[in-house]
Structure 1
Amino acid sequence: MKISFVGKGGSGKTTLAALFARHLAATAPPGSDGSVPLLALDADINQHLATALGASEDHAARLPALGDHLGEIKDYLRGDNPRISSSAAMIKTSPPGRGSRLLSVTGANPIYDALVREVGGVRLAVTGPFAAEDLGVACYHSKVGAVELILNHLVDGPGEYVVVDMTAGADSFASGLFTRFDATFLVCEPTLRSVGVYRQYVGYARDFGVRVYVVGNKVDDDSDVEFLRGHVGADLLTWIGRSGYVKAAERGAPQPVTALEPANRNALELMRATVDAVDKDWATYTRQAVEFHLRNSTAWANDRVGENLADQVDPDFVLGPEPLVR
């Protein structure tokens, strides 16, 4: 299952993404190799998921960045797909087709070998920061394009998890990235500004059938829960209370995830159960990838690349386990 964490900046979405990933690593059933099939991706403009998982600032700064290897990622994923004239003609929304190389959550491939590292017991790849040299000449969405390409080519099955820490607010609506998930956890503080981001997000997402579950954060008491319930209604799935465990981790003293407060562990387990209960719809997933590719092609990419990128769409291809086997 592909899972995203979104929310207002400062709401704690990165903290919850890390907690959830660590909870999965510690409690989800292992795969055939004895480890949980789990991959985390940091797609936030503020790259803090590695440190939230327990890496030092120095270690986090030395992680290889997906955004620095976009050409190699395109080269690999393109494979021998005859509809894509070159890797340079691939854009962030280019959908897979026959001949494309597909990814699994845990299988070996050059992308994972070069760019995925274990941090805090979780396999992690990072987009990379928006650097000073990018100012005025680059858009962060071009870096996040590496994540979108990976998700468009990734086949995941039951009991397999891809956890993505998204950029804050509604920035992910700049492409089709917000549709690439089986479940979206919107982290919401009990404040008017935070529920305002919720309203903005669901206003876009619901038009595309995106499943949004609100997870309250920094909840002190019943009045906070009632505030959230009054503003988000049945979308409130669960909540995380103020946590000494989280405070210690943020002060550089991380503990095993089993030391998390029982009520907060129960909230994480409910989140996992919710994800596990979702039915995957590969046909819709593929259709939405094509839809946003055609939108991007018409809006800017055809002119930039000098081709009609609608020709990249393989009309008979549906992403899913069957093409992965072939």
Structure 2
Amino acid sequence: MKIAFVGKGGSGKTTLASLFLRHLAAESPAPALLALDADINQHLAVALGADEDHVHPALGAHLPLIKEHLRGDNPRIRSTEEMLKTTPPGRGSRLVRVDEDNPVYDACVRTVDGVRLAVTGPFAESDLGVSCYHSKVGAVELLLNHMVDGPGEYCVVDMTAGADSFASGLFTRFDVTFLVCEPTVRSVGVYKQYRDYAADFGVRIAVVGNKISDAEDLEFLREHVGEDLLTCVGRSQHVRAAERGDVRPIGLLEPHNRAALAGMRTLVDAVEKDWPRYQRQAEEFHTRYARAWANAKAGRDLAEQIDPDYLPGPVPVG
């Protein structure tokens, strides 16, 4: 399963993503698990327990390696320079699993408190005025386009805040999108905006209420979110301790909050993969992206990269 965490800035989406990841990692046996930090504020490693001065290799800095590996010998992709962040796989492409040995993972994935993590890399001073953050997130989109995750495999992505996720087709790359929502007007507003944008693409949204203090908070979310409200996480001393740098074992999380994480996994495990839709949406956004600007740069129609007779799926890959 591919899982996204989204929400208003400050809603606690990174905290919830880290708790969910640590909840999965604590299972026995632990499932195949990969975390990707695609937020402009790169805090997932610290939320998982890394030191504040932790340095993680960036996916964005290894984009040529990622393209070369995923391109394989796909004859429709003439060069890595013509490979876009939206380029879908086709015959000859090299697919990846959640947990395997490959050059991309060797270069970019490191383990933090039992969780295998890759990060896009921060928005640097050298990027100011000449680049946008979504160019860095392209490495995540490419990986997800080429990832064939099977049963019991989880790829969890901490997305950038708010509606910025809609700047590319990345928001369609998930089986479940957990939208973290505080009991506030602003947070509910982001939920409604995300829900409305995603409605035309069949994006499965489940709202996780966060920072719930009392019955009034819960009733507020039920009133404004309705059936999309899956579960709620209450205010937590365990989380407060982590925010002070004291990351405690996930087994010490309050039982009602641990139950919320278990409910989230239950939802994820009940979802059926829809590989035809997944590939169809990849091709749609690739065509849009190519027509918007990439064709002019390449001097040809990069929609030709689409292999019309190809469908990925949970099959063993070399």
Counterpart among 119, 132, 148 of residue 141 in structure 2: 148
Residue 34 of structure 2: which of 27, 31, 39 is its match?
A: 39
Q: Distance in 2 between matches of 1:89 and 1:36?
A: 35
Matched, 1:112 2:105: yes
Structure 2: 5+ residue stretches without partners? none
| Aligned equivalent of 2:265 | 272
How far the C-alpha of 1:122 sits from its partner, in A, is: 0.2
Aligned to 1:49: 44
Alpha-carbon distance in 2 for matches of 1:267, 1:252:
23
Structure 1, unmatched stretches of 5+, are none
With over 3 angstroms needed to count, the CA separation of the structure-2 counterparts of 1:111 and 1:325, relative to structure 1, is: closer
Structural mapping, 1:6-25, within 5 Å: 6-25=6-25
- Which residue of the partner structure matches residue 3 of structure 1? 3
What is aligned with 1:305? Answer: 298
Paired residue for 1:83? 76
Contact 2:71 2:92 in 1 (8 A): yes
Q: CA deviation at 1:325?
A: 4.4
Q: Tell me the amino acid that sits aligned with residue 255 of structure 2.
A: P
Matches of 1:215 and 1:100 in 2, distance apart? 36
- Give the counterpart letter for 1:264 in structure 2: N
Structure 1 Cα separation of the partners of residues 211 and 46 of structure 2: 20
Q: Take 1:282 and 1:214, find their aligned partners in 2: how far apart are those partners?
A: 24
User: Displacement of 1:43 after TM fit?
Assistant: 0.2
1:93 has 2:86 as partner: yes
- Offset of 1:321 from its aligned partner? 2.1
Secondary structure of 2:162's partner? coil
Aligned to 2:116: 123
The count of residues paired between Structure 1 and Structure 2 equals 318
SS where residue 319 of structure 1 aligns? Answer: coil
The corresponding residue for 2:223 is 230
Counterpart amino acid of residue 290 in structure 2: S
Q: 2:195 aligns with which of 202, 205, 211?
A: 202
Q: Percent identity?
A: 71
Partner of 1:286: 279
Residue identity in the other structure for 1:186: L
Counterpart Cα distance in 2 of 1:274 and 1:233: 17
Query: Equivalents in 2 of 1:143, 1:116: separation in Å?
Result: 16
Q: TM-score with structure 1 length normalisation? A: 0.96
Indicate conservation of the 8 Å contact 2:163/2:194, yes or no: yes
Q: Is the 8 A contact 2:95 2:317 kept in 1?
A: no
Q: Could you say what secondary structure the match of 1:101 adopts? A: coil
Would you say the 8 A contact 2:98–2:154 is kept in 1? yes
Question: In structure 2, do the counterparts of structure 1 residues 48 and 325 end up closer, same or farther at CA, with 3 Å as the change threshold?
Answer: closer
1:4-29 Cα distance to aligned partner (Å, 9 max, x none): 000000000000000000000012x5
Q: Distance in 1 between matches of 2:94 and 2:302?
A: 19
Instruction: State the one-letter code of the partner of 2:31.
Output: V
1:321 paired to 2:314: yes
Q: Distance in 1 between matches of 2:31 and 2:175?
A: 18
Q: Give the TM-score, by structure 2 length.
A: 0.99
